[in-house]
Amino acid sequence: MLNQTSRRQLLKNGGLLGLIAAFGSALAPRFAFAAWNKAAFEGKTLADTYKAMGAEGAKESGEVQILASDIAENGAVVPLQCVSKLPNTTQIAFLVEKNPNMLAASFDIGPDIVADVTTRIKMGQTSNVIALVKADGKFYTATKEIKVTLGGCGG
């Protein structure tokens, strides 16, 4: 049988743990998760990939920015970042024009997540990289040429 002091301590500790659990989930970081659209990832042309993603008619936007080096020394590991300042951004994707499969990465963005995605992709050769952003149901793009000095897709 527990004495009075141990019961109080047990209740106090249990209440504290409950409080920590309640506030801990509110303070936990939020993450973007890679999305899977099989038809888009298998697209061989820009038109096919846009069609599979429902992005036909995407427009260039100054509110979408690609942050990456102009030269990638190793095409097997090309770091990229896309920042979207468009309100209600729900998706960010990276496409590489000269890769065998154009769509390199796609991320769904939740409503509480800052639209800023960083990843690493493979590039077989020097090519334009396109950041495709979906915001308010419309698609917007930004393009940057990245020169590859050592191939990453089998080269």
User: What counts of helices (H) and strands (E) characterise the chain?
Assistant: 3, 10
Q: Where are the domains of the chain?
A: 1-29, 33-148
CA dihedral 98, 139, 83, 142 (to 10 degrees): 40
Residue 4 has pLDDT above 80, yes or no: no
Six-digit token pair at 69?
Answer: 């080096």
Burial string for 69-99 (b: 16+ CB within 10 Å, else e) reads: eeebeebbebebebbbebeebbbbbbbbbeb
pTM of the model: 0.74
Q: In the structure, what pLDDT confidence band is assigned to residue 59 with cuts at 50, 70 and 90?
A: very high
Which pLDDT tens digit goes with each residue over 85-138? 999 999 999 999 999 999 999 999 988 889 999 999 999 899 999 999 999 999
**Better-scored residue on pLDDT, 133 or 19:** 133
Alpha carbon distance 155, 151 (integer Å): 4
Class of domain 33-148: mainly beta
Degrees (nearest 5) of the Cα angle 89, 91, 92?
105
Q: Determine the pLDDT at residue 37.
A: 78
> How many alpha carbons fall within 13 Å on the CB side of residue 137?
0
Region 63-80 average pLDDT:
94
Q: Determine the pLDDT at residue 155.
A: 46
Give percent above pLDDT 70 in the chain: 74
